[in-house]
């Protein structure tokens, strides 16, 4: 009966290389892989059960890649980290955090060391360098966010549809002069998906509604944000509504509105896009909540399925999405079919209806 050493000698490689080809635990060149497979066929080698099951050996750990800038706090990162951990625990998995800023080095360490079975990526950028690493290493992953070129399973709120929906609803309430506070400059410069898709939604809604939509980029510096917002709100003719996607500095934003002499909702309607569900102090505002729990449950499931199916680097097309309005039929709780490689989520308005312009 042929042994793994016999296969290695016939293929001209080390026994460990044969093991790697069988287990898929390391990246092997295609020429070497073909030589090993040919030797296996020629010798009629049948790996023992222990070798065959190497690939199915699991750590039952997901690596959550959360880019962290030292000294900066984002409540949304903590909320996702907790909810992804809860979702993973429901599948009998634990979560390992990768917090380096670019995420590339951390992903390489985790993938090569076998510390986790798959990765979950947050703050996904257009042509994200972390995705190139995942493809290079053949490491299964799922994305919180999406890039049409990534070829990985993903879940996300349809940010383009969400911003478009908020602006459509604002225009439908009678507002013709609207300020849209987009994601922060550094997020747009990094080409993060939610920031770019939000801008696309604003442009689309301005074209479709005919309303005057002035786009103002937010900023990580509260003072810069306040100055930009005051200038936008006091420029004539004065806007009657403010739609906000960047909510990290919401308290500073409200201070800037007050310092501009505007009252919410008496003479300025405020609509939030991407607010945290159940966040205190915003229930009186019209908004589109970020479905954190559904996204976390979906991304954990997609990552684990990627491990089971061995499809971490398989490219899959995404489906086109459309915005839901208040008058449209209620969207299903989940619009992803079982086993689908993506889980897009349609936006929904929450809170009170948008007040019309003062005097309107």
20 or 110: which leads in pLDDT: 110
42 or 86: which leads in pLDDT: 86
Structure tokens at 212: 């005057």
193 or 325: which leads in pLDDT: 193
Residue 180's contacts (CB-CB under 8 Å, 6 or more residues apart) are: 163, 167, 202, 213, 214, 215, 216, 243, 244, 245
Q: How far is CA 109 from CA 84, 141, 165, in A?
A: 21, 15, 41
The answer to whether 257 and 47 have CB atoms below 8 angstroms apart is no
The whole-number average pLDDT for the span 165-182 is 98
The answer to whether 266 and 360 have CB atoms below 8 angstroms apart is no
Buried b (16+ CB within 10 A) or exposed e, 79-111: bbbebbbebbeeeebebeebeeeebbebbbebb
Q: Please report which confidence band the pLDDT of residue 102 belongs to, taking 50, 70 and 90 as the band edges.
A: confident
Q: What is the value of pTM for the model shown?
A: 0.76
Does the pLDDT value for residue 27 go beyond 80? no
CA dihedral 220, 248, 211, 170 (to 10 degrees): -170
């Amino acid at each position: 009966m042929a042994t793994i050493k016999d296969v290695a000698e016939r293929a001209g490689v080390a026994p460990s290389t044969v093991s790697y080809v069988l287990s898929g635990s390391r990246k092997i060149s295609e020429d070497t892989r073909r030589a090993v497979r040919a030797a296996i066929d020629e010798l009629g080698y049948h790996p023992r059960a222990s070798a065959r099951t190497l690939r199915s050996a699991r750590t039952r750990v997901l690596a959550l890649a959360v880019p962290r800038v030292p000294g900066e706090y984002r409540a949304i990162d903590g909320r996702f980290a907790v909810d992804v951990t809860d979702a993973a625990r429901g599948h009998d998995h634990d979560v390992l955090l990768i917090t380096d800023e670019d995420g590339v080095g951390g992903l390489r360490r985790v993938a090569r060391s076998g510390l986790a079975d798959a990765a979950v990526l947050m703050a996904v950028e257009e042509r994200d360098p972390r995705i190139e690493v995942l493809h290079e290493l053949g490491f299964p992953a799922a994305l919180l966010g999406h890039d049409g070129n990534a070829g990985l399973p993903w879940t996300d709120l349809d940010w383009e549809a969400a911003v478009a929906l908020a602006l459509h609803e604002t225009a439908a309430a009678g507002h013709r002069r609207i300020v849209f506070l987009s994601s922060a400059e550094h997020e747009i410069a990094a080409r993060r998906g939610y920031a770019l898709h939000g801008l696309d939604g604003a442009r689309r809604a301005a074209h479709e509604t005919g309303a005057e939509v002035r786009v103002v980029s937010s900023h990580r510096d509260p003072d810069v944000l306040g100055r930009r917002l005051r200038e936008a709100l006091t420029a004539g003719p004065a806007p009657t509504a403010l739609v906000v996607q960047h909510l990290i500095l919401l308290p500073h934003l409200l201070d800037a509105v007050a310092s501009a002499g505007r009252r919410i909702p008496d003479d300025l309607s405020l609509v939030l896009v991407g607010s945290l569900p159940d966040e205190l102090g915003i229930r009186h505002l019209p908004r589109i909540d970020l479905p954190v729990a559904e996204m976390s449950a979906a991304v954990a499931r997609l990552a684990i399925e990627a491990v089971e199916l061995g499809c971490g680097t398989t490219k899959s097309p995404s489906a086109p999405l459309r915005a839901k309005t208040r008058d449209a039929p209620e969207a299903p709780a989940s619009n992803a079919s079982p086993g689908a490689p993506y889980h897009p989520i349609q936006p929904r308005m929450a809170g009170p209806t948008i007040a019309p312009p003062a005097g309107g």
